[in-house]
Amino acid sequence: MKKLLFLAILGLVAITARAQTPIPNLSYNALLNAACATPSAFCTNTANPFPNVPGGTGTTLDINSSNYAVATVTISGTYTGATVSFDFSDQTAGTNYFQVLCSRTDVNIIEAGEILPANQSRAWQCPLVATTRFRVRVSAIASGALNTWITVTQTAIDPSPTVANLPQPTSLNSSAFTTSVQSTVTASVNVKASAGNVYGLQALNGAASTCWVQFINSAGAGTLGTGVIFAIPLPASTTQPVAVGPGDIALANFSSGIAVGIATTANGAVACGTGGNLTIFYQ
């Protein structure tokens, strides 16, 4: 009887030890060279590669995320006109999909996707807790391919940027913000003719359609759709301005200078028909 009890205890210890063994980090790779405009369902031509084996093409890089906490996503390559989105699947395990917010690693922005400047390298961290599948989906692309990697880890990492964990971007020289007020803006105008940081804005759309404030890396007036660092949507026909910050962490660094304009799309060259009003907080 004692021998049986001893064996039972040994078996329980072995099972417990096995259950506590962390699962390894896994990396998945694919070249995304086509579009899938289906945000809530399975995409055809989906890449499902083996872990740690580069290769595969498709519209979407779709991986198993069960028992993992965080995904680190990186994108690079030669491409134009690309838009990416981040989706997860629930217990339907690949039948139903929902958008998830991911945190950019280079600036203080959390987003469910992005219209990417041409040939841009980007990285995000995305939460995976209680998901069964996670995917990076290309919803639009004009040419080329996005070299996409997803690395999943069991260790929980808070993807929310904090003052303690994020370094300040370069060109930070003092604690006081300078304010630039721009009225009836359509085409791009200059805010600062040298390198600097943007810390916040207030923007009021003057048009009856959704427009986008583009923040452009330029020492001059800049050009809509060229050198866009990031863009923020402005709802149509509203009397309340969109307000972001200002805060201690810069929204982005501009290596040449800061220019702003209001366009019909996040990365497009067409100005909104009716001017909007902007207040930019920068250094």
Average pLDDT over residues 12-23: 55
Give a yes or no: residue 241 inside a domain.
Answer: yes
Give a yes or no: residue 74 inside a domain.
Answer: yes
| Same-domain check for residues 147 and 33 | yes
| Same-domain check for residues 28 and 134 | yes
First-to-last C-alpha distance (Å) of the chain: 77
Give a yes or no: residue 216 inside a domain.
Answer: yes
Q: Which of 153, 168, 192 is the last residue of a domain?
A: 153
| Same-domain check for residues 64 and 129 | yes
Give a yes or no: residue 160 inside a domain.
Answer: no
Give a yes or no: residue 158 inside a domain.
Answer: no
Give φ, ψ of 154 to 5 degrees.
Answer: -80, -20
Q: Which of 88, 71, 75 is nearest to 153 (CA)?
A: 71
Q: Is the pLDDT of residue 126 over 60?
A: yes
Q: What is the pLDDT of residue 275?
A: 85
In this predicted model, which residue has the larger pLDDT, 18 or 206?
Answer: 206
Rounded Cα distance between 182 and 190, Å, is 10
* Number of domains observed in the structure of the chain: 2
Q: What DSSP state is assigned to residue 12?
A: H
- The H or E element that residue 279 is part of is strand 276-282
Give the residue numbers spanning the domain of 42. Answer: 24-153
AA letter at 201: L
The residue to which tokens 């994020």 are assigned: 166
Q: What DSSP state is assigned to residue 168?
A: P
The residue to which tokens 């629930």 are assigned: 90
Q: Is the pLDDT of residue 239 over 80?
A: no
| Same-domain check for residues 138 and 214 | no
Give me the chain's average pLDDT, please: 83
Q: What is the pLDDT of residue 176?
A: 62
Q: What is the pLDDT of residue 148?
A: 96
CATH label of the domain that carries residue 210:
2.60.120
Q: What is the pLDDT of residue 29?
A: 94
Joined tokens for residue 253: 């660094």
Rounded Cα distance between 178 and 281, Å, is 6
| Same-domain check for residues 243 and 132 | no
Give a yes or no: residue 227 inside a domain.
Answer: yes
Among 109-118, 178-187, 189-198, top mean pLDDT goes to: 189-198
Rounded Cα distance between 277 and 191, Å, is 13
With vertex at residue 220, the alpha carbon angle to CA 215 and CA 225, rounded to the nearest 5 degrees, is 40
- DSSP-derived secondary structure for 242-278: EEE---SS-SEEESS-EEEEEESSSS-SPBPSS-EEE
**Of 13-27, 148-162, 262-276, minimum mean pLDDT range:** 13-27
| Same-domain check for residues 36 and 142 | yes
Q: What DSSP state is assigned to residue 56?
A: -
Task: Convert the pLDDT of each residue in 252-268 to its tens digit.
Answer: 889 999 999 999 898 89
